[in-house]
Amino acid sequence: MSGRLEGRKVLVVGAGTQANGDPDAPPGNGRAIAVAAAREGATVACADRDRASAKETATLVRDEGGHAQVIVADVSDAEQCAAMVHEAVELLDGLDGVVLNVGIGAGAWLKGTPVETWDAVFSVNVRAHFLTCQAALPVLADDSSIVFISSVAGLRPGSRSPSYDTSKAALAGLNRHVAMEGARRNIRANVVAPGLIDTPLGRLATEGRPSRAKAPVALGRQGTAWEVAAPVTFLLSHEASYVTGQVLAVDGGLSTL
User: Catalytic residue positions?
Assistant: 164
Indicate the helix (H) or strand (E) that contains 92: helix 78-92
**Distance separating alpha carbons of residues 139 and 136, to the nearest angstrom:** 5
Q: How far apart are CA 86 and CA 162, in angstroms?
A: 33
Q: How wide is the angle at C-alpha 137 spanned by C-alphas 133 and 142, nearest 5°?
A: 140
Of residues 110, 38, 253, the one with CA closest to residue 15: 38
Q: For residue 48, what is the DSSP state?
A: E
3-class SS at 62? helix
- With residue 129 as reference, give the H or E element that holds it: helix 128-136
Helix%, strand%, coil% for the chain, nearest 5: 45, 15, 40
Amino acid identity for residue 227 in this structure:
E
DSSP symbol at 198? E
> What DSSP element (H or E) covers 10?
strand 9-13
